[in-house]
């Protein structure tokens, strides 16, 4: 009889301890406020299929490269470090791109059909607007 009572007492103590641990963990997981800073080198927003639909990243100084890592036709030219924001269509093409470097900044807006786009640029003390419609002929406007 005494052993049965000891088992019940130990079981009750274990239940209380487990309950205490669970409550303590639940309180520590709960967010108590907003983090003052989010730090990282790249941020991506994806859709329900896992495709990247928006990104912001710091691109290091170096030659121009494609997404597969190969050099572009401008690969011998050294580009400065840039911060780039891209909004990407469902087909994977960027429709809005905003970038800034030490040399200047720009905003590219792409149309639904290639190569229709608009480029606003401020670089090296000069500004321009380049308009290109679906026939591919660009029109540059400078002050």
Helix (H) or strand (E) holding 16: helix 2-29
Residue-range domain boundaries for the chain: 1-30, 42-141
Confidence (pTM): 0.65
On whether the CB atoms of residues 55 and 44 are closer than 8 A, the answer is yes
Three-class DSSP category at 44: strand
Three-class DSSP category at 28: helix
On whether the CB atoms of residues 55 and 85 are closer than 8 A, the answer is yes
Work out whether strand 126-132 and strand 138-141 pair parallel, antiparallel, or are unpaired.
antiparallel
pLDDT tens for the chain, 143 residues long, are: 566 777 887 888 888 888 778 777 766 555 566 777 878 889 999 999 999 999 999 988 887 766 666 777 765 677 889 999 999 998 888 899 999 999 899 999 998 767 788 999 999 889 999 999 888 889 999 98
Residue 77 to residues 68, 101, 105, 130: CA-CA distances in angstroms?
Answer: 18, 15, 18, 22
């Amino acid at each position: 009889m005494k052993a049965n009572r000891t088992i019940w007492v130990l079981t009750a103590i274990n239940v209380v301890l487990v309950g205490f641990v669970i409550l303590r963990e639940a309180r520590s997981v709960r967010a108590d406020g907003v983090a003052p800073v989010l730090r990282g080198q790249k941020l991506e927003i994806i859709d329900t299929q896992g495709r990247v639909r928006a990104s912001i990243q710091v691109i290091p100084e170096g030659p121009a490269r494609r997404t597969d890592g190969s050099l572009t036709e401008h690969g011998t030219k050294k580009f400065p470090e840039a911060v780039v924001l891209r909004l990407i269509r469902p087909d994977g093409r960027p429709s809005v791109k905003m970038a800034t470097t030490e040399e200047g900044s720009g905003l590219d807006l792409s149309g639904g059909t290639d190569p229709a786009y608009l480029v606003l640029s401020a670089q090296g003390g000069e500004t321009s607007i380049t308009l290109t419609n679906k026939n591919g002929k660009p029109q540059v406007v400078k002050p």
